[in-house]
Amino acid sequence: MNLKIVVLAKQVPDTRNVGKDAMKADGTINRAALPAIFNPEDLNALEQALRLKDQYPGSTVTILTMGPGRAADIIREGLFRGADNGYLLTDRAFAGADTLATSYALATAIRKIKDFDIIIGGRQAIDGDTAQVGPQVAEKLGLPQITYAEEILGINNGRITVKRHIDGGVETVEGPLPIVITVNGSAAPCRPRNAKLVQKYKHAKTVTEKQQGNLDYTELYNKRDYLNLVEWSVTDVNGDTAQCGLSGSPTKVKTIQNIVFQAKESKTLPAADREIEDLIVELLANHTIG
Amino acid sequence: MANFYLDTPELRHHLNHPLMKRIVELKERGFKDKDEYDYAPVDFEDAMDSYDKVLEIVGEICGEIIAPNAEDVDHEGPAVANGRVTYASGTQKNLDAVTKAGLMGVAMPRRYGGLNFPTVPYIMAADIVSRSDAGFENLWGLQDCAETLYEFGNEDQKKRYITRVCQGETMSMDLTEPDAGSDLQSVMLKATYSEQDQCWYLNGVKRFITNGDADIHLVLARSEEGTHDGRGLSMFIYDKRNGGVNVRRIENKMGIKGSPTCELVFKNAKAELCGDRKLGLIKYVMALMNGARLGIAAQSTGLSQAAYNEALAYAKDRKQFGKAIIEFPAVAEMLSIMKAKLDASRTLLYETARYVDIYKALDDIAKERKLTPEERQEQKRYAKLADAFTPLAKGIGSEFANQNAYDCIQIHGGSGFMKDYACERIYRDARITSIYEGTTQLQVVAAIRYVTTGAYLARIKELEQQNVAPEFESLLSRLKAMGEKYAEAVTKVADSKDQELIDFTARKLVEMSAYLIMGHLLLQDASKNAIFANSAQVFTRFAEAEVEKNASFIARFSKDDLAYYRK
């Protein structure tokens, strides 16, 4: 079985070690103070993809990331660990995207990739913590989804079995391919970078990076095509600019404030519309949302 | 994210030594591998960048996986059941991580699946691994045995075995027996050739075998019936897949507990000869041991680093009499000496590794073509320097590791005596370094001939001629003055032609040689890189007092005094 796996990965500021200067006065993130890293749960997702590739030789793992030029690091990090190729969605028109515009852009890129069995990503990114992008991508592509995955148990007759993390335990579910899966941080950590792959791919660069950086190894780019990382613009993925970036983002930030996070017991609701409505009213009343 | 390579800038300094240009040139031979292997470097800068990037992987695995596992591994340890060893769960995770990261067969040629790295970056990885868990270094570092297979095995054996090592299979070197420890000439494990089966069979017992349940073993055995000395011994390869060797027990050790030390029973174990008969001990094991000794020197340096880091962190954190204890001169002095000994061990380690690199790379080239006269001369010079420096790096480096581990506990005070801090494990782990692969006393035996022949002195004289930064001129003159005292002591002992006196004063003379060489190397380091400035200052003062002490002992000692020491 040759699976085609697409890993959704994001470059994020490392919010795990936030100092006083993490936010600027205008309420935006001070990216200079926070190192850019591979979103941790996306690494868990990459590991699940690589395990499938180990299990089914001939399968391919493709990294898809959206971000500024330097997000090409994410593709290289993926290649260093065993991914086969990657695409960087980068365009000024993508900038300032909320989850809706992000999932729109990713979905158009996945349509362009066309041939895939599994779309897999982390549950959420540590900068926004929304956990919305994965599910939105699934909806936009009309695919089934399994969230909070901890381990992919196997694939039989076009159906995938996944152990997922739920409150107070785990449940094992099954779904048809193609499918979108989001992976929880409790899944196996990602394997280290591989010495040979790092040496093989360390010169891999996007066109933009080649234009900016020194061209010591130009000769290599002609001989070794895998060193040329692909960048896609809005036009490349046939995107509608109005649905991308800031213009495609209904989310508006009102204010930003420092809060002390207080973890509380979770609340279990019966699966009835009435209960959900009551909860929304309650959350609006205490300003958790709205 | 802890990274044990990036957080120690001293390592990069040693990696980027000017001699690396020659080493890479010899090792990569016109970078011809680049057309065949997608991970081979295309030029010198590319090769150096690869070493740096791979060491970054090593640093990350050590900081994020191996070091955090070390305490559990130390408690859990390996187990043996039905003749087979099971590693502690943390050890298995460590092995999986280094294998997945492609860090097995680091120094092996690419045609067998290795990374073709020179000794310097390989030893640097060993240094880093040892800092994270010295016991794990024993398992990972046994890939050294592949080097022996590469040097002395036939092409068929190399293809079959080295390839497996590069894929993550582990090795062991089965030398010691109950009655053959330091004296390996007494090895009795019997090898008999079966004409009928066209193969060798091994029978007997081996003891104290590190990782004795390895996949591939190198075994020293007596192939010549009726012989009793080293000339009757040959080297064999035993493949675990063939069966015939069981682990009877594993030792309950003081330290490096994660590494299983096994007693092995060979019962008609099928084996194949490696290299020529009768050269097992006199050629192959000697080569194997030199490589292993450099490995222990790296292990010692890594332990010295771990001891220093733990002591420094504790001294900054611990408050007494209203201030951090690091502010007390008595503690600061200990820490400064620890750092100076660490930097001194490390500079000697990499100097030695570079010598090994040059002569081994030339040896390897000599298998393909005749060396030019210049190359032959270069090969000879560096082989001799490597032989002379290896016992110093191992002998003194391991003594320093023990001293640093001792001081680390001292700085922790009463807490250091409890099992709550890493320092007690480091102390136990360090203890073996001055014992195995030849005790310090045996390193002295190996080194003394370079004292009496003047080889060390010649090298010291060369080092005295090197330029140092103006601010270190005064240290250089102090080192030169120490050199004169050393030369006097050497002359007195050597001229006596009294073997007992030479043996008796050997330790002192060898220590003096090492301190002088380390002092000069540190001066070179400090002249290029300010991070070594304090260590150069502190170590020169330490060495000066030690050289003075030993010189004065020898100057006042007469061979009649030996009588008081005889037992």
Q: Could you read off the pLDDT of B370-421 as tens digits, one per residue?
A: 999 999 999 999 999 999 999 999 999 999 999 999 999 999 999 999 999 9
Domain containing residue B226? 171-277
Would the CB atoms of A199 and B40 count as touching at under 8 Å? yes
Q: What average pLDDT does this structure show over A119-140?
A: 92
Give the CATH number of the domain where residue B235 resides.
2.40.110.10
Would the CB atoms of B57 and A197 count as touching at under 8 Å? no
Q: What is the pLDDT of residues A26-54, one digit of tens each?
A: 666 677 778 899 999 999 999 999 999 99
Quick one: tokens of B411? Answer: 């700085």
Would the CB atoms of A198 and B100 count as touching at under 8 Å? no
Q: Is the dihedral of CA B117, A78, A56, B60 positive or negative?
A: positive
Residue to mutate among B33, B50, B62, B116, with most A CBs inside 10 A, is B50
Chain B nearest-CA residue for A192:
B101
The yes-or-no verdict on residue A258 having pLDDT over 80 is: no
Is the Cβ of B167 closer than 8 Å to some Cβ of chain A?
no
A272 occurs within a structural domain: no
Q: How far is B100 from chain A (nearest CA, A)?
A: 7
Closest CA to A126 of A9, A30, A14: A14
Would the CB atoms of B102 and A202 count as touching at under 8 Å? no
Residue that finishes a domain, picked among B374, B404, B434: B434
B2 occurs within a structural domain: no
Predicted confidence at residue A266, as pLDDT, reads 76
A264 occurs within a structural domain: no
- Which residues in chain B have their CB less than 8 angstroms from residue A195's CB? 39, 54, 57, 101-103, 106, 115
B216 occurs within a structural domain: yes
B137 occurs within a structural domain: yes
What's the CA angle centered on A115, arms A111 and A121, to 5 degrees? Answer: 70
3-state secondary structure of B278: coil
B532 occurs within a structural domain: yes
Q: How far is A85 from chain B (nearest CA, A)?
A: 15
The yes-or-no verdict on residue A128 having pLDDT over 90 is: no
Predicted confidence at residue A261, as pLDDT, reads 67
- Return the percentage of chain B with pLDDT > 90, whole number: 97
B4 occurs within a structural domain: no
3-state secondary structure of A5: strand
- Which residues in chain B have their CB less than 8 angstroms from residue A77's CB? none
- Which residues in chain A have their CB less than 8 angstroms from residue B40's CB? 199
Is the Cβ of B363 closer than 8 Å to some Cβ of chain A?
no
Are both B306 and B248 inside the same structural domain?
no
Are both B378 and B446 inside the same structural domain?
no
Give the CATH number of the domain where residue A208 resides.
3.40.50.620
B341 occurs within a structural domain: yes
Residue that finishes a domain, picked among B230, B247, B277: B277
Closest CA to A44 of A193, A189, A179: A189
A169-176, strands of its sheet edge to edge: A169-176, A159-166, A145-156, A179-183, A118-122, A4-8, A60-66, A85-89, A228-232, A205-206
**How would you classify residue B202: left for phi > 0, otherwise alpha for psi between -120 and 50, otherwise beta?**
beta
Are both B489 and B467 inside the same structural domain?
yes
Quick one: tokens of A61? Answer: 């793992």
Are both B155 and B41 inside the same structural domain?
yes
Are both B188 and B151 inside the same structural domain?
no
Pairs of residues, one from chain A and one from chain B, whose beta carbons lie less than 8 Å apart:
51
- Which residues in chain A have their CB less than 8 angstroms from residue B49's CB? 202
Q: Which residue(s) pair with B303 in the sheet?
A: none
| Number of other CB atoms surrounding residue A111 within 10 Å | 14
Chain B nearest-CA residue for A54:
B100
A266 occurs within a structural domain: no
Q: Smallest Cβ distance to B103: which of A191, A195, A217?
A: A195
Predicted confidence at residue A285, as pLDDT, reads 87
Q: Is B410 exposed, middle or buried (0-12, 13-18, 19+ CB in 10 A)?
A: middle
Would the CB atoms of B100 and A191 count as touching at under 8 Å? yes
Is the Cβ of B124 closer than 8 Å to some Cβ of chain A?
no
CA distance A89 to A65: 6
Contact A99, A105 (CB under 8 A): no
Q: What is the pLDDT of residues B339-369, one digit of tens each?
A: 999 999 999 999 999 999 999 999 999 999 9
Q: How far is B314 from chain A (nearest CA, A)?
A: 23
Would the CB atoms of B46 and A196 count as touching at under 8 Å? no
B21 residue type, one letter: K
Residue to mutate among A199, A200, A221, with most B CBs inside 10 A, is A199
CA distance B91 to B69: 8
Confidence band, pLDDT 50/70/90 cuts, at residue B314: very high
Q: How many domains does chain A have?
A: 1
Give the CATH number of the domain where residue B111 resides.
1.20.140.10
CA distance B404 to B342: 8
The count of residues in chain B is 567
| Number of other CB atoms surrounding residue B464 within 10 Å | 16
Would the CB atoms of A195 and B49 count as touching at under 8 Å? no
Q: How far is A81 from chain B (nearest CA, A)?
A: 8
Are both B225 and B305 inside the same structural domain?
no
Q: What is the pLDDT of residues B493-512, one digit of tens each?
A: 999 999 999 999 999 999 99
Predicted confidence at residue A283, as pLDDT, reads 87
Give the CATH number of the domain where residue B529 resides.
1.20.120.470
Contact B295, B144 (CB under 8 A): yes
Would the CB atoms of B50 and A202 count as touching at under 8 Å? yes
Would the CB atoms of B97 and A192 count as touching at under 8 Å? yes
Predicted confidence at residue A215, as pLDDT, reads 67
Predicted confidence at residue B496, as pLDDT, reads 94
- Return the percentage of chain B with pLDDT > 70, whole number: 100
Q: How many domains does chain B have?
A: 3
Is the Cβ of B60 closer than 8 Å to some Cβ of chain A?
yes
Q: What is the pLDDT of residues A58-111, one digit of tens each?
A: 999 999 999 999 999 999 999 999 999 999 999 999 888 889 999 999 999 999
The yes-or-no verdict on residue A263 having pLDDT over 70 is: no
Are both B306 and B425 inside the same structural domain?
yes
Q: What is the pLDDT of residues B430-472, one digit of tens each?
A: 999 999 999 999 999 999 999 999 999 999 999 999 999 999 9
Chain A nearest-CA residue for B35:
A223
Would the CB atoms of A194 and B100 count as touching at under 8 Å? yes
Angle of helix B440-452 relative to helix B473-496, nearest 10 degrees?
Answer: 90
Predicted confidence at residue A15, as pLDDT, reads 80
Is the Cβ of B429 closer than 8 Å to some Cβ of chain A?
no
Quick one: tokens of B456? Answer: 């060390």
A100 occurs within a structural domain: yes
Closest CA to B143 of B189, B102, B202: B102
Domain containing residue A200? 4-252
Predicted confidence at residue A1, as pLDDT, reads 84
CA distance A25 to B101: 42
Predicted confidence at residue A289, as pLDDT, reads 78
Predicted confidence at residue A96, as pLDDT, reads 84
DSSP codes of every residue in B36-101: T-TTS-SSHHHHHHHHHHHHHHHHHHIIIIIHHHHHHHHHH--EEETTEEE--HHHHHHHHHHHHT
Are both B161 and B175 inside the same structural domain?
no
Q: How far is B94 from chain A (nearest CA, A)?
A: 11
Contact A7, A46 (CB under 8 A): yes
Would the CB atoms of B102 and A195 count as touching at under 8 Å? yes
Are both B400 and B505 inside the same structural domain?
no
Give the residue, B381 or A272, on which the prediction is more confident: B381
Are both B89 and B113 inside the same structural domain?
yes
Residue that finishes a domain, picked among B412, B434, B456: B434
- Return the percentage of chain A with pLDDT > 90, whole number: 64
Are both B143 and B292 inside the same structural domain?
yes
Predicted confidence at residue A213, as pLDDT, reads 75
Report, in angstroms and rounded to the nearest whole number, the Rg of chain A calculated over CA atoms.
20
B1 occurs within a structural domain: no
The yes-or-no verdict on residue B198 having pLDDT over 90 is: yes
Are both B303 and B182 inside the same structural domain?
no
- Which residues in chain A have their CB less than 8 angstroms from residue B46's CB? 217
- Residue A189: is the preceding peptide bond cis (ω within 30°)? no
Predicted confidence at residue B468, as pLDDT, reads 96
- Which residues in chain B have their CB less than 8 angstroms from residue A220's CB? 42
Q: What is the pLDDT of residues B256-300, one digit of tens each?
A: 999 999 999 999 999 999 999 999 999 999 888 888 999 999 999
Please give the mean pLDDT across all residues of chain A. 90
